[in-house]
Chains A and B, each alone.
Chain A
Amino acid sequence: MRKDYKLEKRKYVIGGFIVLIVLIYIVRLFNLQVMDSRYKEFADSNAFMRKTLYPSRGMIRDRNDQLVVYNQPAYDVMLIPRNVVEFDTADFCRTLEITREQFDKRMRDMKDKRLNPGYSAYTPQKFITQISAQDYGRLAEKLYRFPGFFIQQRILRQYTRPVAANVLGNIREVSQKEIDKDEYYNRGDYCGDLGVEKSYENYLRGVKGVEILMRDAYGRIQGKYENGAFDQAPVSGLDLKLSLDIDLQEYGEKLMANKIGAIVAIEPSTGEILAMVSSPTYDPRLLVGRDRGKNYAELKNDFYNRLFDRALMGAYPPGSTFKPSQGLILRQEDIITLNTAFPCYHGFISGGLRVGCHGHASPITLKPALQTSCNAFFCWGLKAMLDGKRAKYGSVADAFETWKLHLVSLGYGYKLGVDLPTEGRGFIPNAKFYNKIYGENHWSANTIISIAIGQGEILATPLQIANLCATIANRGWFITPHVVKEIQDTVMPAALLEKRYPTIDRQHFEDVAEGMRMAVTGGTCRLAALKDIEVCGKTGTAQNPHGKDHSAFIGFAPYNDPKIAICVYVENAGFGATYGVPIGSLMMEKYLTGQISPERQYLEDRMLNSNTIISSGVKKH
């Protein structure tokens, strides 16, 4: 027997080789199994199908606990294309009551990357959305015959009355941008669009639950994981209590029928919006269900732009409703005293300029000027402030800036911060603005005199005008107007509870309020007078480039303990006294007494039946 000891040593090479390999593999296993936690996550996403359980969305009630928005279940037919095997198409179509052509078209559209950019054969795709309960029942019975298809329960919004669409908003499928921004959302989820549905989305939507199902490599469900021990039940969204009085809102929408414009009613002591009408409006039910897309497109292209919330977004010249603010500023700046009288010879005449006015006694002081809505008084006032106080302000521009800052403190020129997603800011020019137009030091009071009476460049939203009225009603403070009174189990944001004080002393508000009271007792707003209730008001008639004057009104009542402050703005309806005053006073009467007194019934009938759209700037009908 020959033994080669040199060669025998080679057993160490071979043995060492396999020892080395096994060591490397053990290190690799250690890395995979102990060090790297990613694989556990991969495994979970592999084997577990996390089925989302949708929470019920919070319900919405009005300030008197009347139900306004609630939920209704709906069913989407979904499919995972990869898991669909051959099935009886005819039977499927019969069950869902669709034609073969519709079926084919739906399949084509689903796979069309342009129409459905999120298409993937591996993920759930919508086949038909929101089928009826009957269709659901029939399909659910036969579903086992159509592998790959499943039914996803959805929640649809329902509305008890076809009102307040602009405040309530609606819900729609989330966009890709929203999915990217907020990890709560997945493709196909719903979220609020417009109104409180959008601004209170985070409260209303609740918390999604999850059901963990085990899924094999072919996507087939193999049952619940650990019998549902790790499932999470969804948490319902929080209910909202609106500050709106839905009856008042409905009444306001009726009064505004066939008119273009807005009504904003605020409870002065709380800043709670009692009614916010934008007209013409639409039935919120149009944006629910399968026809949402079609209806939305129609509303979007609507001739009257119904989706546009005029109460929040409309930028209108406030006209004479602006005069109370002028009175406040002139008094605060000591430009006038209560006894200062300015002449009015049927208007303001200065340096070849003439702003017309109507017949009343002359000269006139602040309160009667408010009572009779004298243009000349406020023009003279502004002129006195801008041109006559060089010593105090230095220049016209500096005086103007002071004027502007007072207005800003009264809530003009900037967003008030209402709890709704879309708010306009109106427009209050500053000195720079006029410097740009006329050149520095090349403008004076006469150049811009129309702003004294709420014309010219001045623009405000009906909400801002109503807020000014509420500030006067409160004699010097306001709370940021808001439409939600309570969120279930949640403290309201502090910003909606704090008083905000303009830069004007309380006493001056008292004077202006008195002037507004006089306007009702013996001035431009006599139509607004109510039995047993001391109403204050101010009309507005705003010239505009679109046709007939806009008819506006602000008012509050009762005089000494205001419960409601209101702004009515009707486009192209003529004098403030013709539409603004009646509508505003009817709203106040309805809210304060719950009914319209018989002697004012004629006024209600006239408002309900009148049509001012025909005289609006929108000429086509």
Chain B
Amino acid sequence: MTDHLLEVRNLSVDFHTAGGTVHAVRNVSWHLDKGETLAILGESGSGKSVSASAIMDLIDIPPGEIVSGEILFNGENLFAMTQDQRREINGRRIAMIFQDPLSHLNPVYTVGFQIAEAMTTHGISKDEARRTTLDLMKRVGIPNAEEKIDAYPHQFSGGQRQRLMIAMALAVKPDILIADEPTTALDVTVQAQILALLEDLQRETGMGLLLITHDLGVVAEVADRVVVMNAGEIVESGSAAQVYRQPVHPYTKTLIAAVPGTGAMAEPLATGIKPILEVNHVSKHYGAFVALEDASLTVLPGETVAIVGESGSGKSTLAKTLLRLEEATGGEALYKGRDLLTMPRRELFDIRREVQMIFQDPTQSLNPRMSVFQIIAEAFAIHPGILPKPQWRGRVRELLEHVGLNATHMDRYPHQFSGGQRQRIAIARALALEPKLIICDEAVSALDVSIQAQVIHLLEQLQRDFGLSYLFIAHDLPLVRDFAHRVVVMQGGRIVEQGPVAQIFDAPQQDYTRNLMAASLHPDPEIQAERRAARQQAQEEYA
């Protein structure tokens, strides 16, 4: 009847909740062949993970309900099978890896035991399982596999844990590997390695790879075909290049247009202006651990300075030190000529008005028990000099309008807003104090691409209107490329390179910067193919 390895036909899944029935996916159909990589692309809430959950029998029924459709694996309908038959397929024939490997590895067992367990439960002897485990760990690139086989999950880095998850999934030689956002939690250089590993393994074993992602760059890097989902429906499907080059559906068009890293780069601001912030040789040590060493940079009025680097590079430590959330070990940070790091509390209180921060995750940075009005007006309550109480509501309304919300939102609570709206509230709160400098710590990285573009646009507009300066901390290079005037690259607590955005992106001087640039993914499959070729060439030369 069918030649496809896996086929989903007209699948509809509903979730019955207290607030009513949610149609998670409607009439979704796609297929996956042997040796092929299919990407399901979508933003949060688009239902991109639901069909994978249905395949793996991970949907809780109730509240979930499979309303219609069938899933054919080798021509057999999974929904018609018994629980035992499905268990036999899950794990053995179809394996899955997840976004956050730490929460899917049991912390109290050694990794060797956990990988071998996948095999022993499917009837392979213990000795053989251990031998295979060792081979697998070597194959996925774990150094010193002989020693590490008896180590516990916390002793591995994030990238290594994802490699271990892959090893676990491959232990029983599945026909299909489902990867749900496998690289979202990882640094760009590690992401590139994991994707390369997945591709190598696929070539060796001929398995079908189903990749669920929100990142067009990942799609461009590995996918043969792509299915674009929005609000529970498939809006477009086709080859990766075709969908990127000639998107038909309006949603796909806006999605592709929103992807950063393709616009014009900003010109550096004229020199000779007095900097608003001058950071000189700041360092922060935690005991013997050096989190930040000899960091120096300047920010001009109306300028956006981006700090990029991988996790552990010290970029967030720098932000926290500047805001005195952490006390610096040494150095100075002159804000309008006054040192932020040694300033007495009294003076610091006044400076708090002028230097504000926007945090990474708006879900956590807004107090869930305060209404939007209370959250924003808190600025006026803390700094009594700004505004007399009767005018608070009016001013909050004005601020909400500045950030694209309106007065009706004032008495609602944070959980009633979407992620992008919450970040707008956080921005309104920062603006309430009329700051001159805003430190954005990964301010948009928790948001979907299209929302990200809107928030960045808002920040740009506010910069034009109020002459704000931004210290923009990010790990997402394409975003920085579009937004920043100048870029500071950090690694291991030190600044390795800084300069105007065009110089950093077009003519990076340091090896580390070049590696970082090479590892970042471009949404265009053709450009990405060229980059990959260049990267492989570089690797071969290096070897």
Pairing of A with B = no
* Chain B interfacial positions (CB closer than 8 Å to A): none
